[in-house]
Structure 1
Amino acid sequence: MYQFFMEEDININNTYSFNKDDSHHIKNVLRLNKGEIIRVVYGSKGYFGKIDYYNGNPVVNIETLDNVKHELDINITLIQSLIKVDKFEFLLQKSCELGVSKIVPLYTSRCNIKKDIYDKKRNRFNKIILESCKQCKREVLPIVEDTINLDNINKYKSDINLFAYELDDNNSLINFIEKGKHITVVIGTEGGFTHQEALFLSDNGFMPVSLGKRILRAETAGIYAISVIGAINEG
């Protein structure tokens, strides 16, 4: 079943039109027929409705509220050090599918790309988030924040605050996750954090954790962490 995000408040038994992009997609790409059921979302609520056409353009007749929620019961904030744009886009897509709430790009000393490159890609990132959330039936769109430095990291702290550190193999990520508590995880770029950066994070209340015996790529580390957190909270 296809899902679309609406731009106005929804009431059952009312009819709504789609924005230009969704209208084109429904009519010319998906070629949905009159009477086909879709899921639409507004304000973190999902609804079922049937496709109809008015003056040749698709509309949806809202029939029922969908009581099934697809969001985690906690917020996961992923603070990801800058990596190549294509790898970040892959991470962004998979993080959305796994339930991340917020992604914060972080500039660290070992980043080898320009600090402002992500901020110039904001529209593309938001499109990736939208399409990913349509596919996995989420009700809430995650947020990509502006790129920050370590000095601004305390703004994004949660109930539990961790950072992946390959030199600390005694503290497993699993041991620090508590069901029902919001969590922030900081992931380094390729090459990880310097000793000084690790000390700074520790001094500011972030606990170093291991993601296992294998050294993961930067984009894999975030996906792994979110997967483990989500599995524990949904278990």
Structure 2
Amino acid sequence: MRIPRIFTDSPLAVGSQCQLDDNAANHVGRVLRMQAGQALLLFNGDGQDYRATITEAGKKHVQVDVTEASENETESPLRVILAQTLSKGDRMDYAVQKAVEMGVSEIVPLTTERCEVKLKGDREDKRLRHWQQVAISAAEQCGRARVPEVQPVMTVQQWLEHAQACDLRVVLHHRTEQSLNTLEKPSSIALMIGPEGGLTAEEIALAEDNGFLPVALGPRVLRTETAPVAAIALCQWLWGDIGA
């Protein structure tokens, strides 16, 4: 039987007892309906997986004994920061989920001139918490030991400043002949993805002024939620751990 893999904010150490945080306890006790004596595989973002046995289980309270730790080697050597323009419906969820599966390190929700989604106040906070939970669930499913952080929503200018620490900075733009496989290998890359209508000429120019290279992924125009999956997969194949 497959052992459930669960993220928890709680500190973990071999030989210790741990009370799972509210989200993890709710998932284990209420959703999975697990009982004392059953095994879990826990992780908290420190790069290790922890094998544990449930000692107490309720709908809101779960306590475990941590029995074993092992290094998790699923993280890519390539650091990828994704700026994904906000989109309607479940398209943003899809982009976050698949980006995590592809090995993204950090996700920045982006607002641009042609962005159809406007978030602020409580609504923004609620969506950020939701996307962070999407990232957690994706990390649980794909076996990662670190959960990419979903940053607060940024403007284009804020994002361009945020990305300056990356070796390579790329803005996807289908009206260019430059491709990723013509670029030198970086240790970190910032990817900027526009909305359905594309980034404006002014936004592309501003990105270029801040050291971003316009890059195309091929002859076809990709949807905003498809573009990050294709781009990150290609980056991981060229410079990361896909096909390694």
Instruction: Describe the shift of the 1:136–1:159 C-alpha distance in structure 2 as closer, same or farther (beyond 3 A).
Output: same
Which residue of structure 2 aligns with residue 74 of structure 1? 78
Aligned with residue 97 of structure 1, among 85, 101, 124: 101
Range 11-20 or range 181-190, more displaced: 11-20
Note the C-alpha offset of 1:55. 7.3
The alpha-carbon deviation at position 210 of structure 1 amounts to: 0.6
1:202 counterpart residue number: 208
1:8 to 1:231, Cα distance in 2 relative to 1, 3 A: same
1:45 alignment partner in structure 2: 47
C-alpha offsets along residues 126-145 of structure 1, whole Å, 9 cap, x if unaligned? 22122121112222221222
User: How many Å apart are 1:83 and its aligned residue?
Assistant: 1.6
Match of 2:174 in 1: 166
Contact 1:40 1:47 (8 Å CA) reproduced: yes
What TM-score does the superposition give when structure 1 sets the normalisation length? 0.88
Note the alpha carbon deviations across 1:104-124, whole angstroms, 9 max, x for none: 122222122225364541221
Structure 2 distance, partners of 1:80, 1:43, is: 23
TM-score by length of 2: 0.85
String of CA shifts for 1:166-206, please: whole Å, max 9, x gaps. Answer: 110x211232261x610001111112122222111112110
Q: Does 1:154 align with 2:161?
A: yes
Identity of aligned residues (%): 27
Report how many aligned residue pairs link the two structures: 233
- Counterpart for residue 227 of structure 1: 233
**Correspondence for 2:137 among 131, 135, 138:** 131
Quick one: distance in 1 between partners of 2:56 and 2:204? 59
Residue of structure 2 equivalent to 1:3: 5
Structure 1 residues 142, 68: closer, same or farther in 2, change over 3 A? closer
Q: Residue type of the partner of 1:210? A: A
Structure 1 pair 151–213 and aligned structure 2 pair: CA distance change class (3 A)? same
Report the Cα distance in structure 2 between the residues aligned to 1:139 and 1:93, rounded to whole angstroms.
15
Checking the alignment, whether the CA contact within 8 Å between 1:2 and 1:135 is kept in structure 2 is no
CA distance change for structure 1 residues 31 and 221 in 2, over 3 Å: closer, same or farther? same
Distance 1:9 1:114 in 2: 36
SS at match of 1:109: coil
CA distance in 2, matches of 1:144, 1:165: 24
**Structure 2 residue runs without a partner (length 5+):** none
- After TM superposition, the structure 1 stretch with the greater mean CA deviation from structure 2, 6-15 or 224-233, is 6-15
Please, which runs of 5 or more residues in structure 1 have no aligned partner?
none
Alpha-carbon distance between aligned partners in 2 of 1:59 and 1:33, rounded to the nearest angstrom: 10
Report what 1:114 is aligned to.
118
